[in-house]
Structure 1
């Protein structure tokens, strides 16, 4: 099954790296990108986003705030916060908003594990 993935990061280079890893693992999936939280929310409101991969450190709202807003829009959407800021508080806060935590630099095995889990959650959520 094909899913639509939203990649959110204020760094174009970071978005490209995530997109490359995603394409290597799930070439049939559709990707959309946003450079900030406002654009991400607009995309999530206007189209059917299945999975979101987002950066923690962004101008305006951080990734945890955005994750909470996205999960409020779509509680069954798998969301992963990707960051090099590997602190217990960040990991705990990600879990509290229902998001997974992926460390930077993002590796294909870590992304693959998240995507496999996301597919299971999406298949369970759909009738």
Structure 2
């Protein structure tokens, strides 16, 4: 059965890049995209993805707010927050929420790291 990843970023280019890189590493995964935290909540609630990779700074609802809504609903979903803001406060907030943190920019290594985190959590 194929796995689903929800890629959330307000930048269309970032979503496309990350989706493409995940597809290169894990071609059997279904990739669903959302452009803000509100869409992420709607799509994750409907699709129950195995992995969510989400930007922090977005309009409407940011990544932290979306995780606060989704974490109780989807306790088995691996959640990773991405951000160019690598301040320790952002990393600490991600940790408080029980999610992983990966620094941008989006590179093939980011896609591989996200899938490796998912893999470790689901061994």
User: Does TM, normalized by the shorter one, top 0.5?
Assistant: yes
Is the deviation greater in 40-49 or in 112-121? 112-121
Number of residue pairs the alignment of both structures matches = 123
Distance 1:74 1:103 in 2: 23
Deviation at 1:37, TM superposition (A): 1.5
Backbone CA RMSD of aligned residues: 1.4
Structure 2 residue ranges without an equivalent (≥5): none
Match of 1:40 in 2: 40
Match of 1:72 in 2: 72
Distance 2:9 2:108 in 1: 18
Match of 1:56 in 2: 56
Q: Is it true that 1:102 corresponds to 2:102 in the alignment?
A: yes
Distance 1:78 1:102 in 2: 13
CA displacement 1:54-78 (0-9 Å, x = unmatched): 1111012211111222211111211
Deviation at 1:94, TM superposition (A): 0.5
Structure 1 residue ranges without an equivalent (≥5): none
